[in-house]
Chain A
Amino acid sequence: MKLMHSTSFVFRVWHQFAQEWRAQWFLVLLWLAALATGCWQTFLEELPEIAMPGSLPALLAMIIIVRSVRADAPGNAEAVSHVRPLGRGAVWLAKVLFFKVAMLLPWLACAWPECRGYGFGPVEWMAEIAGRVLPAVLLGAGTALGASWRGVVWKNGTLIGSGVAGLGLMAWKFGTKMPKDADRCVLVVAGLVLGLTLLLAWWQSTMTRRAWMTLTVGGLAVMLVVKLGHWNWRAQPDRMYADAKLALHFGERPEGAVQELWEGMYVTGLPADHVASVVAFAPVDEAWPPKKAFSDYKMLLGENGHWNQRRPWKMRMAYTHALVPHYPAGSLWHKVEDTEQVKTLKEIVESDLSRPWRMRLAVQRMKRVVTMPLGAAIRGEKRIVLDAGRRLDFQIGVLNDYSEMKFWAMLRRRFPLLAPGSEQERLQVAGDLTEEAFLVLLHSPGIREVCTAGEWHRGDENYWSGDELLHRFNNRPVAFSFVHPRAQMDIAGLKFEDWVDETTLDVWWPEERGVIDVEISGEELRRAVEGK
Chain B
Amino acid sequence: MHQFCKEFRYLRMRWCVFLVVLALDLAMQMEWVLPMRSVEGGYNAGVNVSYEILMMALLWMVAWWFMLSVPPEEGASGGRGYALTRPLSPVSYWAARLLVWVLLVMVPLMLECAVYLWLNGRPWSDVVLGMMERAWAVGSMTLWLLPLPLLLRGWERYAMIVLVVFSLEEWNGQVLWVVFKLLHLVYDRPQVGMEFGRSVQAAWLVGILMPVLVVWHQRRPFGRVARMSAVACLLLLYQGVAGSSLFIESYEKPRDQELISKLTAGREVVIPERDRHFSQGDEAPGGKYIDFTAHAMLAGMPDEFVPHWRATATSMMQNGRVMPAPPEQWGQTRRQPSYMVGYLCQSYPMASALPGAKVPGMLSMDMDAKAQNMQFRLSQPPQVEAPVSTHVDLTAEWMRLNKLGEIPIKVGAQFKVPDFEIELLEVKLNSDGQGGSAPGCVAVVYRMSARCFEWRNALLPLLPNVFLVSPKNRFMWQFAIHSGHEQARGANLGWCHMIEQRAFQRVLEHGTGVTPENLAEQRLVWLKPEYLGSSQHEMEMKDLKIGGYLMNREGWPRSRPATEAGNPREAFLRQVRSLPRPAEGAARAEIARYVAEVYEASAVFNERTHRINDGEPKWPGNDREVCVLLAPFLVEHADIFKAALAHDSADLTMGVMHELVLQAGIPGITRSEKTGGPRYEREVPVAGKPGQVRKRVMETLWLSSWRADDLDAYMAAIRQHSDEPLWPLMDDKPRSTDEVLADYAKSFDRGYLRWLMKRPDVKYREEAERLTREAFSQLPAVVTLERGYERPLYAAVALGMPEALDWLLRGVAMKEDDRARGAMMQHHAMFASLEQGQPDTKTLLQFLHDARRYSAKDYRYDATKMIWELRPERP
Cα A50 to Cα B616 in complex, Å, equals 63
The 8 A CB mask of A143-175 against B (1 = contact, 0 = none) is: 000000000011001001100100000011001
A59 at the interface (CB under 8 A from B): yes
User: Chain B contacts of A171 at CB under 8 A?
Assistant: 51, 54
A487–B13 touching, CB < 8 Å: no
B43–A50 touching, CB < 8 Å: no
B437–A66 touching, CB < 8 Å: no
Would you give the shortest CB distance from A3 to chain B, in whole angstroms? 42
The 8 A CB mask of B563-591 against A (1 = contact, 0 = none) is: 11100000000010011000000000100
User: Chain A contacts of B643 at CB under 8 A?
Assistant: 490-491
A305–B557 touching, CB < 8 Å: no
Which residues, 323 to 374 on B, are CB-close (under 8 Å) to A? 346
Contact partner of B559 (CB less than 8 A), chosen from A59, A157, A334, is: A334
Stretch at the interface among B74-82, B475-483, B618-626, B859-867: B475-483
Would you give the shortest CB distance from A250 to chain B, in whole angstroms? 18
Stretch at the interface among A134-142, A443-451, A503-511: A443-451
A447/B597 contact (C-beta < 8 A), A306-B481, A307-B44, A335-B562 known: yes
Would you give the shortest CB distance from B788 to chain A, in whole angstroms? 21
Q: How large is the interface on B (under 10, 10 to 19, 20 to 34, 35 or more residues)?
A: 35 or more
User: Chain A contacts of B432 at CB under 8 A?
Assistant: 307
User: Chain A contacts of B420 at CB under 8 A?
Assistant: none
User: Chain B contacts of A383 at CB under 8 A?
Assistant: none
B317 at the interface (CB under 8 A from A): no
User: Chain B contacts of A487 at CB under 8 A?
Assistant: 556, 596-597, 599-600, 603, 644, 647
Cα A307 to Cα B43 in complex, Å, equals 7
A335/B559 contact (C-beta < 8 A), A178-B48, A487-B596, A487-B644 known: yes
A402/B557 contact (C-beta < 8 A), A317-B562, A488-B593, A491-B595 known: yes
Stretch at the interface among A23-31, A370-378, A417-425, A478-486: A478-486
User: Chain A contacts of B44 at CB under 8 A?
Assistant: 307, 309
A449–B560 touching, CB < 8 Å: no
Cα A487 to Cα B593 in complex, Å, equals 9
User: Chain A contacts of B560 at CB under 8 A?
Assistant: 334-339
B482–A305 touching, CB < 8 Å: yes
A486/B647 contact (C-beta < 8 A), A154-B13, A164-B58, A176-B47 known: yes
A492–B557 touching, CB < 8 Å: no
B646 at the interface (CB under 8 A from A): yes
The 8 A CB mask of B432-466 against A (1 = contact, 0 = none) is: 11111100000000000000000000000000000
Would you give the shortest CB distance from B280 to chain A, in whole angstroms? 10
B384 at the interface (CB under 8 A from A): no
B720 at the interface (CB under 8 A from A): no
B175 at the interface (CB under 8 A from A): yes
For the A-B complex, the count of residue pairs with Cβ-Cβ distances under 8 Å equals: 170
Would you give the shortest CB distance from B178 to chain A, in whole angstroms? 5
Cα A334 to Cα B602 in complex, Å, equals 11
B17 at the interface (CB under 8 A from A): yes
User: Chain B contacts of A333 at CB under 8 A?
Assistant: 561-564
Cα A493 to Cα B637 in complex, Å, equals 14
Which residues, 1 to 55 on B, are CB-close (under 8 Å) to A? 13, 17, 20, 34, 42-44, 46-51, 54
User: Chain A contacts of B640 at CB under 8 A?
Assistant: 491
Would you give the shortest CB distance from A168 to chain B, in whole angstroms? 8
B174 at the interface (CB under 8 A from A): yes
Q: How large is the interface on A (under 10, 10 to 19, 20 to 34, 35 or more residues)?
A: 35 or more
Closest to B42 in A: A307
Cα A488 to Cα B595 in complex, Å, equals 9
A330/B579 contact (C-beta < 8 A), A154-B13, A307-B42, A448-B597 known: yes
A493–B592 touching, CB < 8 Å: yes
A164, A172, A335, A486 — most chain B CB neighbours (10 Å): A486
Would you give the shortest CB distance from B364 to chain A, in whole angstroms? 15
The 8 A CB mask of A21-57 against B (1 = contact, 0 = none) is: 0000000000000000000000000000111110110
User: Chain B contacts of A491 at CB under 8 A?
Assistant: 592, 595-596, 599, 640, 643-644
A208 at the interface (CB under 8 A from B): no
B672 at the interface (CB under 8 A from A): no
A403/B557 contact (C-beta < 8 A), A53-B170, A448-B597 known: yes
B435, B437, B597 — most chain A CB neighbours (10 Å): B597
The 8 A CB mask of A374-407 against B (1 = contact, 0 = none) is: 0000000000000000000000000000111000
Would you give the shortest CB distance from A284 to chain B, in whole angstroms? 17
Cα A260 to Cα B562 in complex, Å, equals 15
Cα A494 to Cα B599 in complex, Å, equals 14
B115 at the interface (CB under 8 A from A): no
Would you give the shortest CB distance from A117 to chain B, in whole angstroms? 29
Cα A336 to Cα B50 in complex, Å, equals 44
A324–B644 touching, CB < 8 Å: no
User: Chain B contacts of A291 at CB under 8 A?
Assistant: 434-437
Would you give the shortest CB distance from A61 to chain B, in whole angstroms? 12
User: Chain A contacts of B167 at CB under 8 A?
Assistant: 53, 55-56, 59
Would you give the shortest CB distance from B745 to chain A, in whole angstroms? 31
A50/B604 contact (C-beta < 8 A), A157-B13, A324-B563, A483-B557 known: no
Would you give the shortest CB distance from B163 to chain A, in whole angstroms? 6
Contact partner of B163 (CB less than 8 A), chosen from A59, A160, A430, is: A59
B213 at the interface (CB under 8 A from A): no
A339/B557 contact (C-beta < 8 A), A334-B604, A490-B646 known: no
Closest to B552 in A: A402
A175/B47 contact (C-beta < 8 A), A53-B168, A291-B436, A334-B604 known: yes
B562–A53 touching, CB < 8 Å: no
User: Chain B contacts of A490 at CB under 8 A?
Assistant: 556, 596, 643-644, 646-647
B177 at the interface (CB under 8 A from A): yes
A260/B174 contact (C-beta < 8 A), A55-B167, A291-B435, A488-B596 known: no
A292–B437 touching, CB < 8 Å: yes
A488–B177 touching, CB < 8 Å: no
B601 at the interface (CB under 8 A from A): yes
User: Chain B contacts of A164 at CB under 8 A?
Assistant: 58
B559–A307 touching, CB < 8 Å: no
A68 at the interface (CB under 8 A from B): no
B155 at the interface (CB under 8 A from A): yes
Would you give the shortest CB distance from B577 to chain A, in whole angstroms? 9
Closest to B602 in A: A487
B735 at the interface (CB under 8 A from A): no
Contact partner of B556 (CB less than 8 A), chosen from A337, A338, A403, is: A403
B553 at the interface (CB under 8 A from A): yes
Would you give the shortest CB distance from B183 to chain A, in whole angstroms? 14
A157, A332, A487 — most chain B CB neighbours (10 Å): A487
Cα A56 to Cα B20 in complex, Å, equals 32
Would you give the shortest CB distance from B371 to chain A, in whole angstroms? 14
A176–B48 touching, CB < 8 Å: yes
When A and B form their complex, which 10 residue pairs have the shortest distance between CB atoms, in order from nearest? A402-B553, A487-B600, A491-B596, A483-B557, A330-B578, A333-B562, A53-B171, A492-B592, A335-B562, A492-B596
B residues touching A (Cβ–Cβ < 8 Å)?
Answer: 13, 17, 20, 34, 42-44, 46-51, 54, 58, 155, 163, 167-168, 170-171, 174-175, 177-178, 346, 432-437, 479-482, 484, 553, 556-565, 575, 578-579, 589, 592-593, 595-597, 599-601, 603-604, 640, 643-644, 646-647
- Give me 27 A-to-B residue pairs in the complex whose CB atoms sit less than 8 angstroms apart, sorted by A's number: A53-B168, A55-B163, A161-B20, A177-B47, A260-B565, A304-B482, A305-B346, A305-B479, A305-B480, A307-B481, A309-B44, A320-B562, A330-B579, A333-B564, A334-B560, A334-B562, A335-B560, A336-B559, A337-B560, A448-B597, A452-B562, A486-B556, A487-B599, A490-B556, A490-B643, A491-B599, A492-B589
What 12 additional pairs, Cβ within 8 angstroms, besides A292-B437, A488-B596, A492-B589? A51-B171, A53-B168, A176-B48, A306-B481, A307-B434, A333-B562, A334-B604, A404-B557, A483-B557, A484-B557, A485-B600, A487-B556
A residues touching B (Cβ–Cβ < 8 Å)?
Answer: 49-53, 55-56, 59, 66, 153-154, 157, 160-161, 164, 171-172, 175-178, 260, 291-292, 301, 304-307, 309, 317, 320-321, 324, 329-330, 332-339, 402-404, 430, 447-452, 483-488, 490-494
